Structure 1
Amino acid sequence: MPNGDGKVCGAVRESLTQNSVLEAEQDIQFATKFTVKSGANRAGIIVYNSGKIHVEGAESDLKKWLVELKASIESGSAAPGILLPAEIEKFPQTLQDRVPACDGVVLWFFQEALRCYKAGSPSGAAFMLGAASEKAILLLIEAYGNRIVNQENREKFFGRVNNRMISIKYDEFKRSYKSAKPHPMDLPLSQDLEQLLDGAFNFYRHTRNQVGHPQIIPDLDKGVILANLGQFIVYVERIYGLMAFFAANDIEV
C-alpha cells in the first residue's frame, strides 16, 4: 500500500500512465511522490495520506497540466485532456514553418484535429484531418488543371473533375498526371510521390468517412491517428512542392 491515500494515488497513477509521463513513484513520509517527465520538463505531484494533493516544479505546460489534474481529482470532475509532448504541441507551427504558403483552411482544420486529439476525441481528429486533406487535394487539382497548356484539354480535365466527389476528382487527377509532362526530377518530389500521396490521401479520406457516415461506431486507433497527425505535415509539404512545380512549368497532356 502507498503511504499516500490509496484511492487518490490510484487516480493519479492511472492518469500519469495513460499520458506516458510517469517517470517514478516513491513513498516519502506521510505521502507518495510521483515524478513526472514530458520532453525536457519535469515536475512532481505528491499525494498525502490525508488525500491532499500538492504539485511542485518549475512553471511549464507539464506543471499546468498537473494542476488541472489535481483540480479534477479534488472536484470529482473529468480529467484534463491528453498531455502531448512539446514537439507534437508545435505541429501547427511546424506546418506553417515548413509550408509558409499553407492555405488558411488547411491550417485551421489541422489545428482543430490536434485540439480534438488533445481533448480525447480521436474520431474528431480523424474527421478534421480528412477535411484538411480534402482542401489540400482540391488546391493541388486546381493548380494542376490551370497549368495545362492546351485549352481544350484543360477544359476537358475540369469537366471531368468539377462537381464530383473528392475520390473521383483525385482519381481523374492521377490518371491525367500519369501521362502528363513534365514530371519533377529533383528529390524528394521525384521519389515515390504518387505512393505517398495515395497512401496518405486514402487514409485521411477513409477515416473521415468512418466518422462521417454513421452506419457503425468507428474503430480508430489513437496511436495511428497521432502518427498521421505528424505525417500530415510531410503530406502537405509534398503537395505544395508539387503545386510550386506546376506553377513553374506548363503541363502537356
Structure 2
Amino acid sequence: MPNGDEKICNSVRSLLENNGVLEAEQDIQHATKFSVKSGATRAGLLVYNSGKIHVEGAESELKAWLLEVKGSIESGTAAPGILLPAEIEKFPQTLRERVPACDDVVIWFFQEALRCYKAGSAAASAFMLGAASEKAILLLIESYGNRISNAENHEKFFSRVNNRMISVKYDEFKRSYKSAKPQPKELPLAQDLEQLLDGAFNFYRHTRNTVGHPQIIPDLDKGVVLANLGQFIVYVERIYKLIEFFNQNEMQV
C-alpha cells in the first residue's frame, strides 16, 4: 500500500503509465512520489496521505500537463489530453520546415489530426489524417495532369479523373504515370510511387473510410495511428518532390 492516498495514487499511476511518462515511484514520508520523464524533461508529482497533490519541477510542458492532472483529479473532471513527446508536438512545424510549399489545407488537417490524437481520439485523428492525405494526393494528380504536353491526352486524363472518387483518381494517375516520360532517376523518388505512396495513401484512405462509414465500430490501434502521424511528414515530402519534378518537366503520355 502506498504512503499517499491509495485511490489518488492509483489514478495518478494509471494516467502516467498510459502516457508513457512514469519513470519511478517511491514512498517518502507521508507521501508517494511519482518521478516523471518526457524526452529530456523531468518533473515530479507527490500524493500525500491527506489526499493533497503537489507538482514539482522546472517550468515546462511536462509540468503544465502534470498540473492539469492535479486539477482534473481534485475537481473530479475528465482526465487531461494525451501528453506527447516534444518531437511529436512539433510535427506541424517539422512539416512546414521540410515542405515549405505545403498547402495550407494539408497542414490544417494534419494539425487537427494531432489535436484529436492528443485529446484521446484515435478515430478522429485517423479521419483528419485521411483528409490531409486526400488533399495532398489531389494536388499531386492535378500537377501531373497540368504537365501533360499533348493537348488531347491532357483533356482525356482530366476527363477520367474529374468528379471521381479519390481511389479512382489515384488509380488513373498511376496508370497514366507508369507509361509517362520522363521518369525520376534518383532514388528514392524513382521508386516512391509503389514503395511509399501506395502503402501510405491506402492506409490513410482505408482508416478514414473505416471511421467515416458507420457500419461497424472502428478498431484502430493508437500506436499505429501515432506512427502514421510521423510517417505523414515523409509521405508529403515525397509528394511535393514529385510535384516539383512535374513542374520542371513536360510529361509525354
Q: TM-score, normalised by structure 2?
A: 0.99
Counterpart residue number, 2:107: 107
1:49 and 2:58 correspond:
no
SS in 2 for 1:190: helix
> Could you tell me whether the CA contact under 8 Å between 2:30 and 2:49 is conserved in 1?
yes
CA deviation vs aligned residue, 1:92-148 (integer Å, no higher than 9, x gap)? 000000000000000000000000000000000000000000000000000000000
CA shift, 1:192, in A, is: 4.0
List 4+ stretches of structure 1 deviating above 3 A. none
Alpha-carbon distance in structure 2 between the residues aligned to 1:210 and 1:192: 25
How many Å separate the matches in 2 of 1:238 and 1:172?
19
d(CA) in 2 for partners of 1:95, 1:53: 38
- Please state if 1:242 is matched with 2:242: yes
| TM-aligned CA deviation for residue 190 of structure 1 | 1.4
The answer to whether the aligner puts 1:139 opposite 2:136 as a matched pair is no
Structure-2 residue corresponding to 1:121? 121
What amino acid is the match of 1:43?
A
Q: Which 5+ residue runs of structure 2 have no aligned equivalent?
A: none
Counterpart amino acid of residue 144 in structure 1: Y
Give CA-to-partner distance per residue, 1:154-202, whole Å, 9 cap, x none.
0000000000000000000000000000110122211343221100000
Amino acid at match of 1:198: D
Aligned residues: 253
3-state SS of paired residue (1:223)? helix
C-alpha distance in 2 between matches for 1:171 and 1:149: 20
Matching residue's letter, 2:118? K
The residue correspondences of 1:86-235 to structure 2 (distance < 5 A) are: 86-235=86-235
Give, in whole Å, the separation in 2 of the partners of 1:172 and 1:240. 19
* Aligned equivalents of 2:153, 2:232: Cα separation in 1: 32
Please tell me the residue identity of whatever aligns with 2:104: G
Q: Which runs of 5+ in 1 are unaligned?
A: none
